[in-house]
Structure 1
Amino acid sequence: MNLTLNWITLRVRDLEASIAFYHEILGLPIQRRFESRGKQIAMLGSDGQPKIELIQAPSDEPTVQPENGVSVGFEVESLENAMEELRHQGVPIARGPITPNPRLSFFYVLDPDGFEIQLAKHHEL
């Protein structure tokens, strides 16, 4: 079986706040917005890359709790530049930077629903 990741779905409380975070702060392009079965949905991400699917959960439907271990990771060109840019935009660093080994450094921020977003830099040795 040859699999390719298409998207990761996050059920969010406020679609507009989540779009603002992923599009305006992280810079993911909005591929499309639509409604399906009464739910508002947005797909974000670059062409040829897996997408983040944001689904606004109805108020009577529980969202996935961030403490259940859901996180989303992105690669950045410079950890320092990413941290500086996020701080400048008022996004606090939740954890890190962490360097578990010489090949990897990363830090976490939280999205509007509290999901951990990991920004990582892989280093060549």
Structure 2
Amino acid sequence: MAIRRLEHTGIMVKDIEASIHFYTNVLGLELQKTFIHTNEVIKLAFLKFKDSAHTDIELIEGYNDSLPKEGVVHHLAFTVDQLEEEIERFKRLNVEFIDEAPTTLPNGSKYIFFKGPDGEWLELFEPASE
């Protein structure tokens, strides 16, 4: 199996700037980067803990403007080395994919969403080569 670690947790937010302020000033995370998703609607912000080398939290604005009081965690993401190989392995295991094909972000990272046994959203994430 090639899953290496938990990549990040995606959290849906209404106001990404207010959320960035909260997560950096109240919780002490550091902003890594922000950008607009390739769909040109969703805004993303990636934060990490000071001594961490990777993203821990992804803030997502614009995915769903009517956020529930509970369940704003959108997905858990798992880092993989070879996304395409893992997709093929998951297909052989009859895993249900949410996306038809992987998405490539502006920085070169790639991901695909799939469902867990209770319909929870999970993600395979291949970081961009740096």
- Tell me the TM-score range normalised by the shorter chain: 0.3 to 0.5
State the TM-score, normalizing by the size of structure 1. Answer: 0.46
Scaled by the length of structure 2, what TM-score is found?
0.45
